[in-house]
């Protein structure tokens, strides 16, 4: 028997490993880009709902070009991202270096603290920062958003840089000092360039995180600083618009092209240069911060062959940042020249806002929220003087009780007369002193009649064992409890431990049958065909029905409830006149109908209804047989806590 | 498993800072004080308060929130969150390491491009990316279509709204945060060391285990920190791709500030969560530094 | 040029440098020689300013620089790891010090060119450190440290990473450059051969103290301590006691084991009973026939190692079985060959015996 040829084995092994890693990397990239390809493909999808493929179109690109709010949000997002990245790089890199260079007392504590923003749930950080900014009397806006973003971004830079510092030749700094560089020069000219790969990746992570942050941004933003994620999130309700895919596509293609051609561009920039600056130095400022601020990045010239080209760029960006921050926080505001609206995302069509501004010259700052409680938390903290707020019924009840609203001046609202009387003097505002109903909806059952042939009349028909794994419901404990209460014949607002205990077995069985809990877009799973039944918001059902008549809306026989979204003027409003003007504008029939067309909810505006066509009026989800069902009332803290505990417990028990 | 990034200075020549050292660190410390410690302090105070019937925080001292937070339900949920985060982190290391290593061994220009290309997909909206995944994984989606066309499956496989889908979503979201720090470490590793190991007769696997992994450990540790820690609190992906069937600690806290309007309880959970992290982190650091 | 007065540096319990006084003249090539861990690198780092001393002062060109940071001392260092900046080209590395001094571009270019020629790196200016060989990196580190025209150049075992041949070549080159530029060199090494080859003076350091300072000849031929005798070159160190004094001219010492040697009276310090005798191997004359010498004794060759120009012999003296090491030149075939097992006569002149306390 021959002895194995030892000398050959490792060589082939090395090759195999190298090839294996190459293939693996290709697979990783495929994984990373797979959804991106789908995303790009769907930007050419003619279906509005962005769920099923229905044919090729370029219309979303056309729509994108004309959509100034989205472009503005994108610009804002990029600007915030670039600033947050620059500040994060500065703080993170110097921090990492100092912690490496010196033996600080409490170094361990400092380090743990740095990591806290990474672990703190976003909402906790968002709310605590909101309270903190309010205490400091800082006006919410661009500055506060940037501060918040830097806070959760810089730890990523710091950790990345630390990983690279570990094992850096300590003699490098000494060599620089020895040659006459001051510690600052040594840091800038020797250490920073050696850390570039880590700074680049840390900066990339910071930029990426900032670009996509939603919750902290929500709590720290002001009415004039919308970002792309807030806009996109708002769209989920109407169905994610392929326009966002188009936007992402344009953005991605531009950046990727830039990255791929960066070497060529770099060569163009230093045509005659004999010494080539290190690639990372030129790569980061150009690509990671594609904002107007960074277009001033000086290209490295052959003359300054020794300088690190990013430095002037960083200084320029930092200076621009400081200037921008100063400018945004000092801008004076004239009364009644603008109106701050805090409303549900996408609830008011852009055409309505534009029309109002065109007619009156009053600028509308439209800030959005996606849950009434979030809105309430932000209003309670009091960072911004909102003019108009848009709570739903039981939140309005809280706001009335908390004295957060201003009584309306009906003399300034001549179009109020259009509201149908059945929607007035409801329990949350019995004297109709503070609120005006905006839209009404119900909660009901959607049935995919192609799949479900048996008649479905109520909750009992939905929650059948044969439908296990074919049901989507809204992810809201109080909703589910109210359905069980209706089934058991208990008043939906009578939440007591005893009643909850009665409902518990029923809910336990029901929740075991559910496949998806989704409050934001339950229509997605229905359209995709992943489920056949849903108990969803009326608005969602209306959109489904509009898309395909196979989705029938059924109001549960056991009973259902309505929810009413209202408009009200905040007690902190400084532009009350403008706020009234805007309210009255939305009450005009020809304006109100525009809102109806965009959002097929129940319009309380009788005159506007007359302008709707028969199909719109026939939509059972928009205009159910009865105008108004029972509505949710505000429940006390104990009851809320009980529902929450029950719901969490039951969910936790789902197998 | 090494889960905590090392921070204690590894610089043999580090020494106690003089005034200048503290002054230079002052901006970061001030930032931490203002925007991390101060909000945490607010949170801490809230966690001992009550809420009134309208959901407002009332400044009356109570232990109630903490008592409730240690209910087995919440511990169970926290355990599950940590479990998901741990699995995600392990898969990210396994998937990300070879890629990071491969990128680090490319020529410099190529390297930077590849690094950018790792991150660029994440410059699109989170929601759109996630909905793209839903399109891929749904019953009549791309994945099932491919499997069916290849004759591998007869009936559609249920990918979406399962724990597997949640893991896919989490790995997708955090993979770049693993690849980038490892790349940072791998890039500076002197390849001569690897060659030396081959030269001394180590096979590729051995070199990988005994040279490459130990020398890139700081990167792996940093990647773990950047992946594992945020993944514990993550819930949006669990909700969207898992059907929101299993609550995560992030959901629970989020809900207290949102729908449940019980900020004090949310604050208590937040304080416990943060303290747990700080204690675990500090202990891990202490163990590490005593090992050396 | 450099005046080191009473420098002490402690790291916790360990005293790395212990009350060192050292005066270095301008233009001198001085070597700090000692085993690893003896404190020589620490002393160097105190001079360069990276370690603040716990006690003592350092004067550079008449100025007290004890508390000056490294970048404000006209002292440059060649690091053991070279510490070349990986992101800069050879040229950029060499120009770094001048850039820090804000030297005008034209002058910088001229001086960098000069330095590149000096270390013979023409043609490599635009390479990066990782594209260079070990010897080339060494030259870059040297040029980089020399270009700012420091008063003193510190070299921390700069040749340790080079192969033997290259090292010898670089030794000569360093010496040549030092002579030409007249810069004061403070060279740290643990290699005694290197020290002997290059230095004007050698400071032998052991356990944080200077054992002896002197020219290579002085420390080689007249080691003042057993440590120096042993560390510099090779020596047979044999414990001995004074047997008798014969008036003012000679004395007789007894090596432990019984061999008696006659030395000059002045060689054995008064009042000392026991001491070590240091005998260089090459100083022992070996012959198969009886030879004329001050001290003659018989021995048996117990081992033989061929080393090219020399043969290294292990001897066992008839008197008391004392083992000695001797070296004989392998000059020609005519000379009688000495082999293992041969009986030989050994001769030793009293001048070639050093008594170390």
Tens digits of per-residue pLDDT, C217-265?
999 888 888 889 888 888 888 888 888 888 778 888 888 878 888 888 8
Distance between CA C111 and CA C116 in Å, rounded? Answer: 9
Which among A445, A621, A612 is positioned nearest to A543, based on CA atoms? A621
**C-beta contacts of A327-336 below 8 A and 24+ residues apart:** A328/A141, A328/A142, A328/A143, A329/A138, A329/A139, A329/A141, A329/A142, A329/A143, A335/A574, A335/A575, A336/A362, A336/A575, A336/A577, A336/A578
Chain A residues touching residue B185 (CB < 8 angstroms): 163-164, 166
Mean pLDDT for the stretch of residues A174-194:
87
Looking at the domain assignment, is residue B12 inside a domain? no
Q: Do A180 and C100 touch (CB under 8 A)?
A: yes
Calculate the CA dihedral of residues A165, A169, A175, A176 and round it to 10 degrees.
-20
CA distance B24 to chain A (A): 8
Q: Kindly report the CA angle at C228 between C224 and C234, in degrees rounded to 5?
A: 120
Mean pLDDT for the stretch of residues A255-278:
62
Distance between CA A607 and CA A612 in Å, rounded? Answer: 10
Phi/psi at A444 (5° precision): -155, -175
Looking at the domain assignment, is residue B35 inside a domain? no
Integer CA distances (angstroms), A506 to A102, A501, A514, A554, in order: 62, 10, 13, 21
Closest-approach residue (CA) in chain A for C83: A172
Mean pLDDT for the stretch of residues C275-296:
86
Tens digits of per-residue pLDDT, C170-183?
888 888 889 888 89
Q: Do C96 and A181 touch (CB under 8 A)?
A: yes
The chains found to touch A (3+ Cβ pairs under 8 angstroms) are: B, C
Looking at the domain assignment, is residue B263 inside a domain? no
Mean pLDDT of chain A: 83
Looking at the domain assignment, is residue B95 inside a domain? yes
Q: In this complex, is the C-beta atom of C101 within 8 Å of any C-beta atom belonging to chain A?
A: yes
Secondary element (H or E) of residue C306: strand C295-307
Chain C residues touching residue A275 (CB < 8 angstroms): 89, 91-92, 126
Integer CA distances (angstroms), A540 to A473, A474, A484, C247, C353, in order: 12, 11, 21, 123, 107
Candidates A101, A175, A183, A279: best to mutate against C (most CBs of C within 10 A) is A175
Percent of chain B with pLDDT over 90: 21
Candidates B7, B97, B219: best to mutate against A (most CBs of A within 10 A) is B7
Provide the token pair at A54: 């229905």
Q: Collect all residues with Cβ–Cβ distance below 8 Å to A256 and sequence separation of at least 6.
A: B117, B120
Mean pLDDT of chain B: 84
Tens digits of per-residue pLDDT, B207-235?
777 778 888 888 899 899 889 988 988 88
In this complex, the residue of C70, C88, C100 whose CB is nearest that of residue A174 is C70
Q: Please name each of the domains of chain C with its CATH number.
A: 2-231 (3.40.50.300), 236-356 (2.40.50.100)
Please state the length of chain A: 655
Lowest-confidence segment of B5-19, C27-41, C173-187 by average pLDDT: B5-19
Looking at the domain assignment, is residue B76 inside a domain? no
Closest-approach residue (CA) in chain C for A197: C87
- Residue B53 has what pLDDT? 77
* Domains contained in chain B, number: 1
Mean pLDDT for the stretch of residues C120-129:
89
pLDDT at A310 over 70: no
Percent of chain B with pLDDT over 70: 90
Q: In this complex, is the C-beta atom of C150 within 8 Å of any C-beta atom belonging to chain A?
A: no
Cβ atoms of B187 and B104 closer than 8 Å = yes
> What is the distance of C-alpha B57 from the center of its chain?
31
Which among B42, C23, C327 is positioned nearest to A125, based on CA atoms? B42
Chain A residues touching residue B93 (CB < 8 angstroms): none
Provide the token pair at C149: 């025209």
Which among A68, A393, A454 is positioned nearest to A243, based on CA atoms? A68
Percent of chain A with pLDDT over 90: 37
Distance between CA C28 and CA C186 in Å, rounded? Answer: 8
Looking at the domain assignment, is residue B6 inside a domain? no
Helices B108-119, A242-260: crossing angle, 10 deg rounding: 170
Burial of A15 (0-12, 13-18, 19+ CB in 10 A): exposed
- Going by their DSSP bridges, the two strands C236-246 and C75-78 should be labelled as unpaired
Q: Kindly report the CA angle at B160 between B158 and B162, in degrees rounded to 5?
A: 85
Tens digits of per-residue pLDDT, A30-52?
999 999 999 898 889 887 766 67
Q: Any idea what the CATH number is for the domain that residue B95 is in? A: 1.10.3720.10
> Which 8-state DSSP code applies to residue C337?
P
Tens digits of per-residue pLDDT, A574-604?
999 999 999 999 999 999 999 988 888 899 9
Looking at the domain assignment, is residue B270 inside a domain? no
Burial of C357 (0-12, 13-18, 19+ CB in 10 A): exposed
Tens digits of per-residue pLDDT, B165-222?
999 999 999 999 999 889 988 888 777 677 766 666 666 777 777 778 888 888 899 8
Helices A372-381, A393-401: crossing angle, 10 deg rounding: 20
Would you call C35 helix, strand, or coil by DSSP?
coil
Distance between CA A109 and CA A125 in Å, rounded? Answer: 19
CA distance A276 to chain C (A): 10
Q: Kindly report the CA angle at A244 between A241 and A248, in degrees rounded to 5?
A: 155
- Residue A435 has what pLDDT? 94
Distance between CA C346 and CA A507 in Å, rounded? Answer: 109
Cβ atoms of B232 and B89 closer than 8 Å = no
Q: Which structural domain range is residue B199 located in?
A: 81-258
- Residue B102 has what pLDDT? 92
> What is the distance of C-alpha A145 from the center of its chain?
14
Which among A219, A188, A494, A463 is positioned nearest to A342, based on CA atoms? A219
Q: Please name each of the domains of chain A with its CATH number.
A: 68-327 (1.10.3720.10), 338-438+576-618 (3.40.190.10), 440-562+634-653 (3.40.190.10)
Looking at the domain assignment, is residue B169 inside a domain? yes
β-pair partners for C184? C152
Q: Kindly report the CA angle at A176 between A170 and A179, in degrees rounded to 5?
A: 135
Chain C residues touching residue A180 (CB < 8 angstroms): 71-72, 97, 100-101, 148
Chain B residues touching residue A256 (CB < 8 angstroms): 117, 120
- Residue A286 has what pLDDT? 34
pLDDT at C187 over 80: yes
Cβ atoms of A344 and A370 closer than 8 Å = yes
Q: Do C83 and A172 touch (CB under 8 A)?
A: yes
Chain B residues touching residue A16 (CB < 8 angstroms): 204
Distance between CA C160 and CA A173 in Å, rounded? Answer: 21
Q: Do A654 and B102 touch (CB under 8 A)?
A: no
Q: Do B218 and A164 touch (CB under 8 A)?
A: yes
Q: Do A171 and C79 touch (CB under 8 A)?
A: yes
Cβ atoms of A79 and A291 closer than 8 Å = yes
């Amino acid at each position: 028997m021959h002895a194995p040829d030892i000398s050959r084995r490792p060589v082939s092994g090395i090759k195999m490993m190298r090839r294996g890693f190459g293939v693996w990397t290709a697979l990783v990239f495929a994984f990373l880009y797979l959804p991106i390809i789908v995303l790009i493909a769907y930007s050419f999808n003619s279906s509005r709902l962005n769920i099923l493929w229905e044919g090729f179109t370029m219309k979303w690109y056309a729509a994108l070009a004309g959509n100034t709010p989205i472009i503005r949000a994108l610009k804002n997002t990029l600007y915030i991202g670039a600033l947050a990245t620059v500040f994060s790089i500065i703080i993170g890199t110097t921090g990492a270096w100092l912690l490496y260079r010196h033996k600080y007392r409490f170094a361990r504590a400092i380090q743990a603290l740095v990591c806290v923003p990474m672990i703190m749930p976003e909402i906790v950080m968002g709310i605590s920062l909101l309270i903190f900014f309010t205490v400091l009397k800082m006006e919410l806006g661009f500055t506060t958003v940037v501060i918040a973003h830097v806070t959760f971004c810089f730890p990523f830079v710091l950790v990345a840089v630390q990983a690279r510092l570990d094992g850096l030749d300590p003699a490098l700094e000494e060599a620089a000092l020895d040659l006459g560089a001051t510690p600052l020069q040594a840091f800038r000219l020797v250490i920073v360039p050696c850390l570039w790969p880590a700074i680049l990746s840390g900066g990339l992570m910071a930029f990426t995180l900032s670009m996509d942050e939603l919750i902290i941004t929500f709590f720290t933003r002001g009415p004039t600083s919308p970002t792309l994620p807030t806009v996109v999130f708002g769209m989920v309700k109407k169905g994610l618009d392929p326009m966002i895919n188009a936007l992402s596509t344009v953005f991605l293609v531009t950046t990727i092209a830039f990255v791929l051609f960066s070497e060529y561009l770099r060569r163009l920039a230093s045509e005659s240069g004999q010494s080539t600056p290190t690639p990372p130095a030129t790569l980061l400022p150009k690509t990671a911060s594609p904002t107007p601020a960074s277009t001033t990045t000086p290209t490295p010239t052959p003359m300054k062959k020794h300088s690190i080209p990013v430095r002037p760029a960083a200084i320029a960006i930092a200076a621009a940042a400081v200037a921008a921050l100063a400018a945004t926080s000092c801008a004076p505001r004239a009364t009644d020249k603008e109106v701050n609206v805090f409303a549900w995302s996408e609830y008011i069509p852009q055409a309505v806002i534009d029309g109002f501004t065109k007619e009156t010259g009053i600028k509308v700052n439209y800030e959005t929220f996606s849950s009434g409680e979030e809105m309430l938390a932000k209003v309670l903290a009091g960072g911004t003087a909102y003019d108009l707020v848009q709570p739903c019924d039981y939140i309005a009840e809280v706001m009335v009780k908390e004295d957060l609203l201003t009584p309306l001046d009906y003399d300034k609202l001549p179009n109020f007369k259009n509201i149908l009387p059945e929607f007035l003097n409801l329990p949350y505002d019995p004297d109709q002193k503070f609120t005006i109903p905006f839209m009404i909806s119900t909660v009901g059952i959607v049935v995919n009649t192609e799949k479900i042939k048996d008649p479905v009349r109520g909750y009992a028909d939905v929650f059948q064992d044969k439908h296990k794994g074919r049901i989507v419901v809204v992810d809201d404990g109080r909703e589910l409890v109210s359905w069980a209460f209706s089934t058991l014949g208990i008043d939906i607002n009578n939440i007591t431990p005893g009643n909850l205990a009665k409902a518990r077995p029923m809910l336990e069985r029901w929740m075991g049958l559910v496949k998806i809990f989704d409050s934001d877009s339950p229509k997605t799973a229905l359209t995709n065909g992943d489920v056949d039944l849903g108990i969803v918001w009326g608005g969602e059902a209306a959109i489904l029905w509009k898309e395909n008549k196979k989705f029938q809306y059924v109001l549960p026989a056991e009973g259902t409830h309505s929810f009413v979204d209202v408009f009200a003027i905040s007690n902190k409003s400084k532009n009350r006149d403008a706020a009234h003007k805007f309210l009255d504008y939305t009450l005009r029939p020809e304006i109100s109908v525009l809102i109806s067309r965009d959002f097929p909810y129940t319009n309380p505006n009788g005159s506007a209804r007359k302008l709707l066509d028969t199909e719109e009026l026939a939509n059972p989800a928009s205009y159910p047989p009865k105008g108004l069902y029972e509505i949710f009332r505000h429940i006390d803290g104990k009851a809320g806590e009980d529902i929450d505990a029950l719901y969490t417990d039951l969910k936790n028990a789902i197998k | 498993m090494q889960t905590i990034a090392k921070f204690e200075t590894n610089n043999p020549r580090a020494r106690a800072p003089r005034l200048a050292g503290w002054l230079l660190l002052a901006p970061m410390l001030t930032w931490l004080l203002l925007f991390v410690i101060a909000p945490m302090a607010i949170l801490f105070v809230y966690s001992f308060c009550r809420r009134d019937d309208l959901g407002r925080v009332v400044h009356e001292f109570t232990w109630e929130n903490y008592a409730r937070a240690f209910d087995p339900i919440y511990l169970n949920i926290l355990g599950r969150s940590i479990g998901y985060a741990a699995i995600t982190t392990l898969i990210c290391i396994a998937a990300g390491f070879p890629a990071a290593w491969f990128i680090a061994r490319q020529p410099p220009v190529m390297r930077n491009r590849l690094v950018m290309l790792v991150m660029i997909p994440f410059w699109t909206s989170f929601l759109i990316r996630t909905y793209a995944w839903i399109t891929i994984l749904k019953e009549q989606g791309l994945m099932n279509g491919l499997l069916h066309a290849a004759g591998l499956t007869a009936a559609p496989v249920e990918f979406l709204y399962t724990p597997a889908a949640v893991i896919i979503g989490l790995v997708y979201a955090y993979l770049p945060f693993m690849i980038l720090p490892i790349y940072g470490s791998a890039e500076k590793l002197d390849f001569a060391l690897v060659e030396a190991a081959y030269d001394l007769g180590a096979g590729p696997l051995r070199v990988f285990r005994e040279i490459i992994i130990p020398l890139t450990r700081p990167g792996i540790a940093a990647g773990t920190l950047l992946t594992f820690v945020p993944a514990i609190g993550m819930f949006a992906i669990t909700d969207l791709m898992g059907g929101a069937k299993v609550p995560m600690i992030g959901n629970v806290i989020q809900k207290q500030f949102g729908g449940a309007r019980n900020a004090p309880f949310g604050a208590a959970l937040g304080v416990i969560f943060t303290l747990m992290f700080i204690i675990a982190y500090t202990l891990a650091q202490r163990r590490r530094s005593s090992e050396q | 040029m450099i005046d080191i007065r009473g420098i002490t540096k402690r790291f916790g319990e360990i005293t790395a440098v212990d009350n060192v006084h050292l005066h270095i003249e301008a233009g001198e090539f001085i070597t700090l020689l000692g085993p690893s861990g003896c404190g020589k690198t620490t002393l160097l780092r105190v001079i360069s300013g990276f370690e603040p001393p716990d006690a003592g002062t350092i004067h550079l060109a008449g100025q007290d620089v004890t508390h000056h940071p490294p970048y404000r001392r006209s002292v440059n260092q060649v690091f053991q790891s070279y510490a070349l900046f990986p992101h800069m080209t050879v040229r950029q590395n060499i120009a770094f010090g001048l850039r820090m001094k804000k030297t005008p571009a034209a002058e910088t270019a001229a001086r960098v060119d000069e330095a590149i020629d000096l270390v013979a790196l023409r043609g490599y200016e635009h390479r990066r450190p990782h594209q260079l060989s070990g010897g080339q990196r060494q030259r870059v580190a040297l040029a980089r440290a020399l270009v700012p025209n420091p008063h003193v150049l510190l070299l921390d075992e700069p040749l340790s990473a080079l192969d033997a041949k290259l090292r010898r070549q670089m030794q000569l080159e360093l010496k040549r450059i030092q002579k030409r530029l007249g810069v004061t060199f403070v060279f740290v090494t643990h290699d005694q051969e290197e020290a002997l080859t290059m230095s004007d003076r050698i400071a032998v350091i052991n356990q944080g103290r200077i054992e002896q300072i002197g020219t290579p000849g002085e420390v080689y031929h007249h080691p003042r301590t057993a440590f120096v005798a042993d560390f510099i070159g090779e020596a047979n160190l044999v414990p001995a006691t004074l047997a008798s004094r014969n008036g003012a001219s000679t004395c007789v010492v007894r090596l432990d084991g019984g061999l008696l040697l006659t030395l000059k009276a002045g060689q054995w310090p008064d009042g000392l009973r026991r001491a070590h005798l240091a005998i260089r191997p090459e100083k022992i004359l070996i012959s198969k026939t009886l030879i004329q010498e001050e001290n003659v004794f018989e021995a048996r060759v117990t081992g033989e190692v061929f080393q090219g120009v020399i043969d290294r012999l292990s001897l066992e003296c008839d008197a008391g079985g004392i083992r000695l090491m001797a070296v004989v030149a392998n000059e020609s075939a005519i000379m009688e060959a000495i082999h293992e097992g041969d009986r030989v006569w050994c001769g030793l002149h009293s001048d070639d015996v050093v008594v170390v306390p």
